[in-house]
Amino acid sequence: MIIPGRPNCRSLEIASRRYRDRGQWLPRPLSGLEQKSASMSMRGQLFNRLAFGVVTLMSLAVLFSSAELSVADDSPCPGTGCSAAVVSWFAGEVWPKVAALECVKCHKTGGDAEASRLVLQDLSRASETDRDKLLQQNRDAFVRLARLQSDKADGRPLLLIKVAGGLDHGGKQVLKPDSTGYRILAEFVRRVSEPQTVPSHQPIADPDEPPFFDGVVMLDDRRLLRRATLSLAGRLPTDAELAAVTRGGLPTVSEILDDVLTEEAFLDRLREGFNDIFLTLGIDGNADATVLSYEHFEKTRLWYQKYDLSHIADEKERRQAGYKLAREYREALLGEPLKLIEHIVRNDRPFTEIVTADYIMVSPYTARGYGIFDEVKDQFARSDDPFEYVPVRLKALKGRNSKEDQESATGFYPHAGLLSTFQYLSRYPTTETNRNRLRARMYYQHFLGVDVLELAARVSDAAAVTAKFKIPTMQASECVVCHRTLDPVAGLFQDYFRFDTNFAIYGRRKDGWFTDMFNAGFEGEDLPAEERWRALQWLGERTTKDPRFAATMVGHAYYLLTGRRPLLPPKDLDDPLFAAKHRAYQEQQRQIQAIASHFAETGFNFKTAIKDWVLSDFYRADGLATVASTPERRAELDDIGIVRLLSPEQLERKVAAVFEQRWGRLTEQTAMLYGGIDSKEVTERATDPSGAMGAIQRTLANDVACRNVALDFSRPPERRILFPAIEPDVLPGASPESDARIRQTIVRLHERVLGRHDDVQSPEVNRTFELFAGVVADAQARGRFEQQEIWSCRQGLEAPVSDPHYTVRAWRAVLTYLLRQHEFLYE
Amino acid sequence: MRRDFLKWCACAGLGLAAPLRGREAARADEQELPPYDGPFYLVFNAAGGWDTTYLMDPKGVGGINRLYEEGDILTHGHHRFAPTAKHKDGGLSNEDFYSEFGDELLVLNGLDYSVNNHSPGARYMATGKLDSLAYPTFAALVAACQGPACPLSFLTFGNYSATGNLVAMSRVPYLPSLKRIANADSIEGNERSPYHDDFALARIEQALREQREDHSTQPLLPRKERAENMLYAAQVNSKALQRVTPHIPKDIPKQRLAQQAEIALASFKAGVCVSANLTIGQFDSHANNDRDQMKLIPELLEGIAYVLHRAEELQIREKLVVIAQSEMGRTPDYNKGDGKDHWSIGSIMFLGPGIKGNRVIGATDEKQFAVPFNPQTLASDTEHGIRIRPEHLHEALRQFAGIGEHSHSRSFPLGIKAEEQLQGLWG
In the predicted structure, residue A136 carries a pLDDT above the cut 50: yes
Nearest neighbour of A681 by CB, restricted to B113, B158, B181: B158
Mean pLDDT to the nearest integer, A816-826: 98
pLDDT digits (tens, 9 = 90+) for A342-386: 999 999 999 999 999 999 999 999 999 999 999 999 999 999 999
Nearest CA among B77, B50, B125 for reference residue B301: B50
Q: Is A414 helix (H, G, I), strand (E, B) or coil?
A: coil
pLDDT over 70 percentage in chain A: 87
Nearest CA among B94, B60, B59, B90 for reference residue B76: B94
CA-to-CA distance for B148 and A690, rounded, in angstroms? 10
How far apart, in Å, are the Cα atoms of B275 and each of B41, B134, B138, B401? 5, 19, 9, 12
- Whether B199 contacts chain A with CB within 8 A: yes
Flag if A459 and B344 touch (Cβ within 8 Å): yes
Backbone angles phi, psi at A608, to 5 degrees: -65, -35
Flag if A434 and B286 touch (Cβ within 8 Å): yes
Flag if B152 and A691 touch (Cβ within 8 Å): yes
CA-to-CA distance for A130 and A548, rounded, in angstroms? 14
Nearest CA among A750, A704, A790, A796 for reference residue B184: A704
What pLDDT does A446 receive? 97
CA-to-CA distance for B255 and B261, rounded, in angstroms? 10
Do the beta carbons of residue A143 and residue A118 sit within 8 Å?
no
Flag if A691 and B238 touch (Cβ within 8 Å): yes
Flag if A688 and B227 touch (Cβ within 8 Å): yes
Closest approach of B299 to chain A, Cα-based (Å)? 19
In the predicted structure, residue A482 carries a pLDDT above the cut 90: no
A824 CB contacts (<8 Å, ≥6 apart)? A654, A753, A754, A818
- Whether B410 contacts chain A with CB within 8 A: no
The pLDDT mean for chain A works out to 87
| B342-343/B329-330 β-pairing | antiparallel
Nearest CA among B342, B264, B271 for reference residue B310: B264
Backbone angles phi, psi at B176, to 5 degrees: -60, -20
Closest approach of B186 to chain A, Cα-based (Å)? 8
In the predicted structure, residue A23 carries a pLDDT above the cut 70: no
Do the beta carbons of residue A394 and residue A360 sit within 8 Å?
yes
Closest approach of A459 to chain B, Cα-based (Å)? 6
pLDDT tens across the length of chain B (427 residues): 344 444 433 333 334 444 444 334 344 444 567 899 999 999 999 999 999 999 999 999 999 999 999 999 999 999 999 999 999 999 999 999 999 999 999 999 999 999 888 989 999 999 999 888 889 999 999 999 999 989 999 999 988 999 998 999 999 888 877 877 888 999 988 889 999 999 999 999 999 999 999 998 899 999 999 999 999 999 999 999 989 988 988 888 989 999 999 999 999 999 999 999 999 999 999 999 999 999 999 999 999 999 999 999 999 999 999 999 999 999 999 998 899 999 999 999 999 999 999 999 999 999 999 999 999 999 999 999 999 999 999 999 999 999 999 999 999 999 899 999 999 999 9
> What is the interface pTM, i.e. ipTM, of the complex?
0.86
Provide the CA A725 distance to its chain's centre, in angstroms.
45
Flag if B234 and A681 touch (Cβ within 8 Å): no
What pLDDT does A200 receive? 52
Nearest neighbour of B222 by CB, restricted to A628, A696, A810: A628
Sign of the C-alpha dihedral, residues A116, A117, A118, A124? positive
Flag if A453 and B234 touch (Cβ within 8 Å): no
Residues on chain B touching A813 (C-beta within 8 angstroms): 196, 200-201, 203-204
Residue of B nearest to A697 (CA): B235
Q: Is A795 helix (H, G, I), strand (E, B) or coil?
A: coil
Flag if A638 and B223 touch (Cβ within 8 Å): yes
Do the beta carbons of residue B184 and residue B176 sit within 8 Å?
no
CA-to-CA distance for B206 and B212, rounded, in angstroms? 10
Neighbours of B116 (CB within 10 A): 26
Q: Give chain B's domains with CATH numbers.
A: 40-176+252-420 (3.40.720.10)
Residues on chain B touching A455 (C-beta within 8 angstroms): 120, 131
Q: Is B51 helix (H, G, I), strand (E, B) or coil?
A: coil
Q: Which pLDDT band holds residue A183 (cuts at 50, 70, 90)?
A: confident
Angular region, A789: left φ>0, alpha ψ -120 to 50, beta rest: beta
Nearest neighbour of B221 by CB, restricted to A623, A703, A770: A623
Do the beta carbons of residue A445 and residue A451 sit within 8 Å?
yes
DSSP type of residue B359: E
Residues on chain B touching A453 (C-beta within 8 angstroms): 117, 119-120
Flag if B207 and A768 touch (Cβ within 8 Å): yes
Mean pLDDT to the nearest integer, A548-566: 97
What pLDDT does B64 receive? 97
In the predicted structure, residue A205 carries a pLDDT above the cut 80: no
What pLDDT does B345 receive? 96
pLDDT digits (tens, 9 = 90+) for A390-424: 999 999 999 999 999 999 999 999 999 999 999 99
How far apart, in Å, are the Cα atoms of A184 and each of A123, A159, A574, A709, B66? 20, 12, 11, 65, 53
Flag if B286 and A572 touch (Cβ within 8 Å): no
> In B, residues 310-339, which contact A (CB 8 Å cutoff)?
331, 335, 337, 339
Do the beta carbons of residue A87 and residue A189 sit within 8 Å?
no
Residues on chain B touching A692 (C-beta within 8 angstroms): 151-152, 170-172, 177, 181, 238, 241
Q: How many helices (H) and strands (E) does chain A have?
A: 36, 8
What pLDDT does B272 receive? 95
CA-to-CA distance for A759 and A774, rounded, in angstroms? 21
Q: Determine the residue type at B141.
A: L
**Alpha helix (H) residue ranges in B102-255:** 118-127, 138-146, 175-182, 198-216, 222-237
What pLDDT does B112 receive? 96
What pLDDT does A432 receive? 83
Long-range contacts of A3-9 (CB under 8 A, 24+ apart): A3/A71, A3/A72, A6/A71, A6/A72, A6/A84, A7/A84, A7/A204, A8/A72, A8/A74, A9/A71, A9/A72, A9/A74, A9/A75, A9/A76, A9/A87
CB pairs under 8 A between A and B: 261
Mean pLDDT to the nearest integer, A749-755: 97
In the predicted structure, residue A10 carries a pLDDT above the cut 50: no
- Whether B12 contacts chain A with CB within 8 A: no
What pLDDT does A43 receive? 35
| Domain range annotation of chain A | 9-197, 221-264, 266-427, 436-535, 545-636, 648-825
Q: Determine the residue type at A790.
A: I
A73 CB contacts (<8 Å, ≥6 apart)? A1
Flag if A692 and B345 touch (Cβ within 8 Å): no
The residue among A214, A699, A700, A788 with the most chain B CBs within 10 A of its CB, best to mutate, is A699
Q: What is the pTM of this model?
A: 0.85
Q: Which pLDDT band holds residue A193 (cuts at 50, 70, 90)?
A: confident
Neighbours of B363 (CB within 10 A): 17
Closest approach of B190 to chain A, Cα-based (Å)? 12
Nearest neighbour of B170 by CB, restricted to A690, A785, A826: A690
Closest approach of B144 to chain A, Cα-based (Å)? 12
Do the beta carbons of residue A358 and residue A613 sit within 8 Å?
no
CA-to-CA distance for A639 and A726, rounded, in angstroms? 42
Residues on chain A touching B370 (C-beta within 8 angstroms): 461, 463
Do the beta carbons of residue A27 and residue A183 sit within 8 Å?
yes
Residue of B nearest to A694 (CA): B235
The residue among B118, B196, B229 with the most chain A CBs within 10 A of its CB, best to mutate, is B196
pLDDT digits (tens, 9 = 90+) for A611-649: 999 999 999 999 999 888 899 999 999 999 999 999 999
Neighbours of B169 (CB within 10 A): 24
Nearest neighbour of A627 by CB, restricted to B113, B115, B219: B219
Flag if A622 and B223 touch (Cβ within 8 Å): no
Nearest CA among B394, B152, B379 for reference residue B275: B152
Nearest CA among A92, A93, A80, A184 for reference residue A137: A80
CA-to-CA distance for B216 and B227, rounded, in angstroms? 12
pLDDT digits (tens, 9 = 90+) for A60-111: 222 223 322 233 333 445 555 567 778 888 888 888 888 888 888 888 887 7
Mean pLDDT to the nearest integer, A682-690: 90
What's the alpha-carbon Rg for chain A, to the nearest Å?
Answer: 32
Flag if B197 and A809 touch (Cβ within 8 Å): yes
Nearest neighbour of A695 by CB, restricted to B115, B238, B387: B238
Neighbours of A647 (CB within 10 A): 22
Q: How many helices (H) and strands (E) does chain B have?
A: 11, 14
Backbone angles phi, psi at A195, to 5 degrees: -60, -25
CA-to-CA distance for A656 and A265, rounded, in angstroms? 12
Residues on chain A touching B287 (C-beta within 8 angstroms): 431-433
Residues on chain A touching B233 (C-beta within 8 angstroms): 694
| A525-526/B370-371 β-pairing | unpaired
Closest approach of B180 to chain A, Cα-based (Å)? 9
